[in-house]
Amino acid sequence: MKRILIIEDEKNLSRFIELELNYEGYETEVCSDGRNGLKHALSGEWDAILLDLMLPELNGLEVCRRIRQTNKIVPIIMITARDTVLDRVSGLDSGADDYIIKPFAIEELLARLRSLLRRVEVLTTNDLTVLNFNDLSIELESCVVRKGGEVISLTKREYDLLVIFISNINIVLTREVLLNKVWGYHTGVETNVVDVYVRYLRNKIDEKNDGSYIQTVRGTGYVMR
């Protein structure tokens, strides 16, 4: 049974989410403030964490950052009423895997949770963490990328982009989010450089007669699915 930690201070909402997850067969635990939520997140084994942004004691961004200092694998969905691009970027940059805006349909939250739980097979053996998607694999500690078992040579920017895409399967990423995560907030680079590097990456991982791993979402950005 999958174990889900819910860190949410709105009691009615957290209870609703808890009941829906229990109905779907998940085991849940609820924390109503950031400090207690962080304690539970670090002391337990969780398959996913649902994390509110605005929490008493310790805000969601800080909770997420501290979780990621010791656990880089557990999927985290950030839940918030704040929906500006900067808010979404801050959430993703703090280590969240996905971001859902209040109010939301419970069906959407459940779908996003299922997607995160199945999106990437993460294998940890002999202290080597590998991200796998189809015939692509990334050995995170050694930064080695393989396709069908053969090593692919990528530049640092191409590698960083690929890690972000494989860590966010089925999630549409805007050019702004990709630019900030790969090049940083204070870069003077324009967003069209993202298009250039996505093209470079496609040339190295795609097969000529097959569709691209990375799909363009017109007017928004890119998604790997």
Low-confidence ranges of the chain (pLDDT < 70): 118-128, 184-189
Q: What is the pLDDT of residue 168?
A: 86
Q: What is the pLDDT of residue 209?
A: 72
Q: What is the pLDDT of residue 10?
A: 94
Q: What is the pTM of this model?
A: 0.59
Distance CA 158, CA 198 (A): 8
List domains and CATH numbers for the chain. 3-119 (3.40.50.2300), 121-224 (1.10.10.10)
3-class SS at 134?
Answer: coil
Q: What is the pLDDT of residue 182?
A: 82
Q: What is the pLDDT of residue 134?
A: 87
Q: What is the pLDDT of residue 5?
A: 97
Cis peptide bond upstream of 75, omega within 30: no
Beta-sheet strands, E only, within 104-207: 121-125, 128-133, 136-139, 144-147, 150-152, 173-174
In the chain, the amino acid numbered 210 is D
Q: What is the pLDDT of residue 156?
A: 83
Q: What is the pLDDT of residue 126?
A: 47
pLDDT, tens digit, for every residue of 179-207? 888 876 555 567 788 899 999 999 999 98
pLDDT, tens digit, for every residue of 44-70? 889 999 999 999 999 999 999 899 888
Q: What is the pLDDT of residue 62?
A: 93
Q: What is the pLDDT of residue 220?
A: 87
Angle (deg, nearest 10), helices 175-182 and 192-205: 80
